[in-house]
Structure 1
């Protein structure tokens, strides 16, 4: 994979940040630095994204005791974890799949993004990485995890948000978004802000502000060529996971962005399918310490 595909280049140019993007592209590596290897072995969770066999893009997570992620080669990882049968990416990861990943440590506000190809192994995945890079710590809320094993509930599938789902959406301070380019190369990214930054305008329509980022526009670049996207909205206190898949569109109208504090652009997301699994994750997290970079919400 080259540092940027045509969708990313087009968005960088439209935003007037092509030179900045070229400068920061030097951070994209093909081999795992030693400091990154140490960071990965400390993590109890890995956030992921991929497209399923029908082209729907989903976001999910893998969990394990620290050490469940290990560096198995200069550009490869072993992950000793699997997804439950109710997870939307369970079948996808039973075969080789293009996978986007983000390892995020809320307690230290560190994160690392990785993209590559995952192949199933006995009890986990072997992943060959093609892009590895760190991201800035903006908009990450500080949290500390602890384990509370629980039995995942039966997955609830639907085509629209319920009132319970909308409450989770509008109280969240963090979600994850997965996208893919036309070749299926997937990317997973983090979005954070004060509670209320993610809005449910209807059971089918979500909106959020796009804040200042790293200028690479990996997510927007994928959406430029493929509007399908998947959101993962976790309930940090119960382990419940809300998976949404649909289509996302970037609104470049400066007047619309001006209505949302801190917004450079606005993103609209249309829900097509959802899967909610109560108590899906064994991780529970402490109350957040909000990032000082979060713009206010109205």
Structure 2
């Protein structure tokens, strides 16, 4: 029976997430929600979901502490869950992908399983166990579902064998050139990786989806991106991580060419500013200053088109 000596389980949220929940006035409610929906295992629905996906979104941290977001693709079945606490990933190392530097044995990783044509998604974070260069396992730390809001519905097709090399070589850029700026300002979707060193001394990495109408990301003359934060689940995983360490990694996808644009740099949360009113439906903003820029032509073997039924 309960006694005064029993110790309450630690909060499911780290300090950065709790700070934003408190600022929004939902901390008490989210403490209860978090204990209920954040699981340290995959439910059967999600164990069946991952094997049908043709790509996975990954968030990692390199040896210098830079977060990177990426997409990796293969024929469905490359993701399997042999038991509820493990997701097995059959993907070869990819030296041209900056996120690959954070995929060694023992590294923390964030994962987003997302199906654009059905708008389903599941997020998890965990730790990599790797014994070879062609596959790794992830021990689940946290797993939870997300609602379909802001996901643009798109159908996919493979245009080449996923094991074949891309047609282009990675390009490291020293600035946001005109082509990069067009790719960012035309986007209706991108993915963001972030992380925090949490109270138990472990690193927790998150990668998440951001969507809106084309042009929802703005760039100023100093190459600083301003991004609206719309109404969401109030978990504040991304913004809580940014509040904790001021870093983020973004990846933009050209759905017609398979190009990936990777950005890693500094980020800040903007809770009060007259600039918020310039973004319709935004509740707050965050700003991102890229420090490292890598463009990878034809990085993905997939191409996407609009889901006519979903428009």
User: Residues of 2 paired with 1:290 and 1:260: CA distance?
Assistant: 28
> Does the aligned pair in 1 maintain the 2:124–2:140 contact within 8 Å?
yes
**Aligned match of 1:171:** 186
Identify which of 27, 32, 49 aligns with 2:37: 27
> Does the aligned pair in 1 maintain the 2:40–2:85 contact within 8 Å?
yes
So what's the TM-score if we normalise by structure 2?
0.89
User: Residues of 1 paired with 2:37 and 2:299: CA distance?
Assistant: 34
**Aligned match of 1:104:** 114
- Structure 1 gaps, min length 5: 293-298
Q: Equivalent residue of 1:185, what SS?
A: strand
Q: Which stretch shifts more, 273-282 or 181-190?
A: 181-190
**Aligned match of 2:221:** 202
> Does the aligned pair in 2 maintain the 1:83–1:89 contact within 8 Å?
no
How big is each residue's C-alpha offset from its partner over 1:120-164, in whole Å with a ceiling of 9 and x where there is no partner?
Answer: 243111110110000111000001111012642111112321110
Listed as ranges, the matches of 1:127-166 within 5 Å are: 127-149=138-160, 151-152=165-166, 153-166=168-181
**Aligned match of 2:13:** 4
Distance 1:290 1:11, change over 3 A: farther
> Does the aligned pair in 2 maintain the 1:194–1:290 contact within 8 Å?
no
> Does the aligned pair in 2 maintain the 1:50–1:89 contact within 8 Å?
yes
Listed as ranges, the matches of 1:10-89 within 5 Å are: 10-25=19-34, 26-89=36-99
> Does the aligned pair in 1 maintain the 2:117–2:310 contact within 8 Å?
no
Listed as ranges, the matches of 1:236-255 within 5 Å are: 236-255=255-274
- Structure 2 gaps, min length 5: 1-9
1:280 to 2:290 alignment: no
Q: Name which one, 1 or 2, has greater alpha-carbon Rg.
A: 2
Distance 1:280 1:34, change over 3 A: same
Q: CA deviation at 1:91?
A: 2.7
Distance 1:254 1:20, change over 3 A: farther
User: Residues of 2 paired with 1:43 and 1:121: CA distance?
Assistant: 24
Alpha-carbon RMSD = 1.8
Distance 1:233 1:157, change over 3 A: same
Q: CA deviation at 1:167?
A: 0.5
User: Residues of 1 paired with 2:12 and 2:93: CA distance?
Assistant: 30
User: Residues of 2 paired with 1:154 and 1:103: CA distance?
Assistant: 27
Q: CA deviation at 1:83?
A: 4.2
